[in-house]
Each structure stands twice: as C-alpha cells, then as structure tokens.
Amino acid sequence: QVQLVESGGGLVQAGGSLRLSCAASGSIWRIDAMAWYRQAPGKQRELVASITGGSSTNYVDSVKGRFTIDRDNGKKTMYLQMSSLKPEDTAVYYCNANIRATWSEPYREYWGQGTQVTVSS
C-alpha cells in the first residue's frame, strides 16, 4: 500500500531550475532515509542526493552546489531543488525511501515511478 509519487519534472533550458517533489502515501509508520536517484538512457542508475531521518545530506560530486535535497516530515514529502541545470542532468529521477509500514515491521525500500527531467542546451 505504500506509494511514492514524484512530480515536478519537465523540460528546461540549461541554466534553469526545477523543483522535484516525492510524496509518500499509504500505510506508513515511519520514514527514515530518503534519496533521489537518476538514470539516463543507456547508463547506470546513480545516487544523486540523500537525506537521513535527522536531515543530514549527501550529494554526488557532480551536483554539489547546484542541487539541494530537503524533506518535510509532516507532509511525508521530499524535495530536490535543482539549479544551474546542465544537459548532463537529463535523466529520469527516482524517489527512494526507507519506510516502516507499522511499528512491528522492518524498514523496507520503496521506489517511485520516476519523473523525466530534460535539460536542453
């Protein structure tokens, strides 16, 4: 019943900005770490940014200084603010979260369906 839904993707020119959102819904007891991944055509999925339950963040080197990951625990939503976008940022961006459905269940990883980000030169 747990679902992650991304939104905010689209087409933007190089140098522009986009804000991605990932909303969690369904049977949720707690959400621990969350992360954004991306996958470009013909390439391996890569971790872009992560945020712990305590809001500590990490970024892949290629996006440092340009992207900001954040979360709103009350809304069960994670965000990725992307600025100074480059064509190499073009990819499908996926939301990932570690979620406990109930207090008695272990954490499990969930994935969203992805949202397309296309950056034109």
93 CB-side CA count, 13 A? 31
Average pLDDT over residues 11-24: 98
Give the separation between CA 111 and CA 4, rounded to whole angstroms.
6
**Is residue 34 a contact partner of residue 97, using CB atoms and an 8 Å limit?**
yes
Residue 116 binned pLDDT confidence (cut-offs 50, 70, 90): very high
> What is the predicted pLDDT for the residue at 18?
98
**Is residue 110 a contact partner of residue 37, using CB atoms and an 8 Å limit?**
no
Of the chain, the percentage scoring pLDDT greater than 70 comes to 100
Collapsed DSSP state (helix, strand, coil) of residue 90: coil
> What is the predicted pLDDT for the residue at 40?
97
Q: How many CB atoms lie within 10 A of CB 99?
A: 22
Average pLDDT over residues 90-108: 95
| Residue 80 pLDDT exceeds 90 | yes
CA 73 to chain centre: 14
pLDDT digits (tens, 9 = 90+) for 30-79: 999 999 999 999 999 999 999 999 899 999 999 999 999 999 999 999 99
Task: Return the structure tokens found at 109.
Answer: 């990883």
> What is the predicted pLDDT for the residue at 1?
84
Phi and psi at 87, nearest 5°, equal -55, -35
Q: Are strands 18-25 and 46-51 parallel, antiparallel or unpaired?
A: unpaired
